[in-house]
Structures are given as C-alpha cells and as structure tokens.
Amino acid sequence: MASATKRSGTSGHSNTSIPGNRIVTLDEFIIRSEKDFEYATGELTGLLRDIGVAAKIINREVNKAGLVNILGVADGGENQSGDTQQKLDVYANEKIIECLQNSGECCAIASEENTDIINVPPVTSKKSHYVVMFDPLDGSSNIDVNVSVGTIFAIYRRKSDADGPATLEDFLQAGTKQVAAGYVLYGTSTILVYTTGRGVNGFTLDPSIGEFCLSHRNMRIPENGSNYSVNQGYYSKFDLEMRRYIDHCSDQNYGLRYIGSMVSDIHRILIHGGIFLYPSTRKYPKGKLRLLYECNPLSMLVEQAGGKAINTQLKRILDMEPAELHQRSTIAIGSPAMVDELQAFIERYSALPL
Ligand code: P6P
C-alpha cells in the first residue's frame, strides 16, 4: 500500500496584507500575493490574470448559451478521448488558448480537447517558464439542461530548456509539482477558486463591475461531512469495498448529492464537507476522471483547504507519476475524516493487494 496520505496545505494565505474592510479584486489579490510567491517574476501573476479574463469571456457565453446557437454538439465533435464535444466546449477551449497565447506568459498548454500539447510562440523576447493544463468546460454534457459547469486549470514550471520548445515531460509531472491550481464554476454565480500553495481563496464575479471579487477568504474544508457524492447508478458494478462503503453512508443517513459536474460537486464539498468518489467501473476500469487536469488541480485545492485526495489503491493523488497526458485515475476526495473512513473500508474489504 502506498504511503499514507498526509494533509498538505497551510494554515492559509498570509492574508494580513489583504484588506478586510473593502472590495478586493482578483487582480489586486494576485499582485499583493505575488511577493509571497517563490518565483515572483510576474509571469504567474500574468497567467492567473489571463485565466480570469478567459473565465469572464466564457461566463458571458455560458450565461446566454440558451439564446445563441452555441448549444448542442460541435460539428463532427469528438475530442481525443472520444467524448462528444459540445459547441460551448470548443468555444471555451479556443478562448482559453487565445488568452494564454496573447500574453505569452506560458510556453505551452495542454487541454482535454486537444490530443497533443500546444507550444505557444513567445510574444516578446522574454522566455516563459510555465506550462498550463486545463479542462475548458468540465461537465459540459450538462450545458443543454442548464446545470452548472466548470473550467479546471493547473500550472507547472517547465522542466525543459527555456531556449527550446516545451516537451511532453513538462506536462508529465506529479501533482505535487503544481505551482498553482484552480477552477471557475459557472453556477448561480460565477466563482474562481485558486491556490498557489498558500491556502485557497474564492472570488465571485460581480457582473456590475466585471471583476472577480474576494468572497471566500482562506477556504477550509470541514473535517467531516454528511453527504457523499457518487454515481449510484453504477453501484452494482463497483468493487465490494466501494459497495460496502456506500452501504455505510446510507446506514449513516448521509445525503447523496451528485451533480455530474465534478467542479460543482467539489465546490459544495469544499464548503459543506463530504466525499466525492469516482471508483473504477466496467466502462472506466482505471476511473473516468483525468489525472493531470481534473484530479491533480482539484486535489491540490482540497489538500490546501485541509482535505485529502487518494485513488482507490490508497495512493495520494498528488504523488502519482503520470505516464500519459490524458491518463485517467480513480479518485476519492473530500473531508479528511471521510477519506480516512473510506480508506478503512478499502483496507478491510479489498480483494486486491494494495
Ligand atoms: P458520470 C463530466 O463528464 C465528468 O467528467 C465530471 O465532471 C463528472 O463528475 C463525471 O464526468 C460524471 O461522470 O459517469 O457519472 O456521468
């Protein structure tokens, strides 16, 4: 069995420099926080601001998706995984790539919607040291039925020589190497939540001023929760240990909350506590969710907020060494006490050597 999961995360961002008595925009927060960041060269600041701009553009289209011809399936649209591409998926992907290319703050990007990495030509003579991975619109099958969807991003420092193009190795890095991670949730309001390894903060978009404003300062996940989040429809196909744990949740009268949009489910868990599970199924024996641009960034956020994230072989998600850009993983993520409880069920009932 792999190393026990340990809770990373800090007691939270040194928010002493962040005013508590007035509106603080995302831009101001990022700039004030820059001095705390080891590589404070302005590049990361620029990247986070680029992602904020892309989020505002995507939000505008998500919010009126029902009114313009941007719903439904993209022409001939299947992404590299064979997942049906929604028109808004494609739009969101294009906008994020455009925003990241225009600023030149990253040297390459990888997206769920693109088979291979995309090198970004330098905008100036300045060399960029970061690569960005993202799922442009996670949960997009929910768009047509007006259910919340989200953008997930992860930022790493490149490993390859800054004088040459980025390589696949710049992307195949363990989650512990992320320098920043976050998501944008396009829900009843639009919120951007991110971490640079010094706690988790959330910014709600104020449409009246077009700014993301600090609304969830130093987010901490509850130690325990009373909801579990899993696609119960697969129950009969889950391994014994998963079925036993789900039975336990039911015996404890936990509520089942499953939106089918991971960002929405994780956001709820960050605020109210709980556990999200995507174990192996017949269709996805290695799990459905992508390690690099879904599991890793959300695991960094949850750990930074005091939670835990493991795969169903009990390995800490952030310690997993990726072998492929779009590889999948099983995941159990959320309140530390609930992840520990699941771990005990896996240790007790798993038929496989851990
Ligand atoms: P299922 C959306 O397609 C997604 O990638 C996640 O956002 C979500 O948690 C999961 O897949 C839902 O998968 O198999 O339950 O429909």
Alpha-helical (H) ranges within 289-350 are 296-304, 336-349
Query: What is the residue with the minimal CA distance to atom 15 of ligand 1?
Result: 231
What is the predicted pLDDT for the residue at 126?
Answer: 78
Question: Would you give the end-to-end CA distance of the chain in angstroms?
Answer: 5
Let me know whether 238 and 201 are in one domain: no
Let me know whether 202 and 240 are in one domain: no
Domain that holds residue 118: 26-216
Q: Which of 86, 145, 237, 262 to mutate to test the pocket of ligand 1 (most atoms within 8 A of CB)?
A: 262
Q: For residue 323, give the amino acid letter.
A: A
Let me know whether 78 and 160 are in one domain: yes
CATH number of the domain within which 209 lies? 3.30.540.10
Q: Kindly state the tokens that stand for 49.
A: 């601001």
What is the predicted pLDDT for the residue at 2?
Answer: 39
- Answer whether 139 contacts ligand 1 (Cβ < 6 A): yes
Q: Rounded to the nearest 10 degrees, how much is the dihedral formed by the CA atoms of 147, 69, 151, 206? A: -80
Q: For residue 46, give the amino acid letter.
A: G
> Ligand 1, closest atom to CA 264?
7
Query: What is the residue with the minimal CA distance to atom 4 of ligand 1?
Result: 139
What is the predicted pLDDT for the residue at 38?
Answer: 58
CATH number of the domain within which 308 lies? 3.40.190.80
Let me know whether 203 and 301 are in one domain: no
What is the predicted pLDDT for the residue at 64?
Answer: 75
What is the predicted pLDDT for the residue at 88?
Answer: 85
- Answer whether 260 contacts ligand 1 (Cβ < 6 A): yes
Provide the domain count of the chain.
2
Taking the centre of ligand 1 as the mean of its atom positions, its distance from the CA of residue 246, in whole angstroms, is 18
> Ligand 1, closest atom to CA 265?
9
Taking the centre of ligand 1 as the mean of its atom positions, its distance from the CA of residue 260, in whole angstroms, is 5
285 within domain boundaries: yes
Q: What is the largest CA-CA distance in the chain?
A: 62
Q: Are 300 and 270 in contact (CB under 8 A)?
A: no
Give the span between the Cα atoms of 326 and 170, in whole angstroms: 14
- Answer whether 262 contacts ligand 1 (Cβ < 6 A): yes
Let me know whether 193 and 319 are in one domain: no
Q: Which of 79, 265, 276, 278 to mutate to test the pocket of ligand 1 (most atoms within 8 A of CB)?
A: 278
Query: What is the residue with the minimal CA distance to atom 12 of ligand 1?
Result: 260
What is the predicted pLDDT for the residue at 5?
Answer: 40
Let me know whether 176 and 99 are in one domain: yes
Let me know whether 47 and 147 are in one domain: yes
2 within domain boundaries: no
Catalytic residues: 83, 89, 112-113, 135, 137-138, 294
Name the phi and psi angles at 332, rounded to 5. Answer: -135, 120
Query: What is the residue with the minimal CA distance to atom 13 of ligand 1?
Result: 260
345 within domain boundaries: yes
Give the span between the Cα atoms of 89 and 73, in whole angstroms: 9
Let me know whether 207 and 249 are in one domain: no
Let me know whether 174 and 267 are in one domain: no
What is the mean pLDDT of each successive set of 10 residues along the chain, which is 354 residues long? Answer: 41 60 90 69 84 94 69 64 73 93 89 94 83 94 87 96 92 97 95 96 95 97 98 95 97 97 98 98 95 98 98 98 98 98 95 70
311 within domain boundaries: yes
Query: What is the residue with the minimal CA distance to atom 14 of ligand 1?
Result: 231
